[in-house]
Amino acid sequence: MKQLDELEKKDLASITAKDKTMLFFTATWCGDCRFIKPQMPTIDAEYPDINFVEVDRDKFMSLAQELGIMGIPSFVAYQDGEEVGRFVNGDRKTKQEIENFINNLAFAK
């Protein structure tokens, strides 16, 4: 999984322009984020056609605000620049809940 600050371009249009992208909003102080973070490499590996990008909400607050991300951890899915789904709230998320979210996305094949 890539970190947003590792990417050359950090604007939403560039990040999500091509293919399938999943933004994973997190923060170092967030206990629910720390709960799911160890599962993220496995989830990333299970969905090789999705580009997962971890976004530190505190470092990229303007992007979080632009997308209405108030609770974390949160996930926003894109395909070819268009948002196709979001799993956004302040609740703890399990690996199964995230996989269910991904499996029910309206990604074009």
CA gap 23, 80 in Å, rounded? 14
Q: Is residue 109 assigned to a domain?
A: no
Domain encompassing residue 39? 2-103
Q: Is residue 59 assigned to a domain?
A: yes
| pLDDT, position 106 | 77
Q: Which residues are registered as beta bridge partners of 54? A: 3, 24
Domain with residue 93: its CATH number is: 3.40.30.10
C-beta neighbour count of 62 within 10 angstroms? 8
Catalytic residue among 12, 15, 22, 30: 30
Pairing assessment for the beta strands 74-79 and 82-87 based on DSSP bridges: antiparallel
Catalytic residue among 22, 23, 33, 67: 33
Per-residue pLDDT tens listing for the chain (109 residues): 888 877 777 788 888 988 999 999 999 999 999 999 999 999 999 999 999 999 999 999 999 999 999 899 999 999 999 999 999 887 889 999 999 999 999 776 6
| Active-site annotation holds for 30 | yes
| pLDDT, position 89 | 81
Total domains, the chain = 1
Q: Is residue 108 assigned to a domain?
A: no
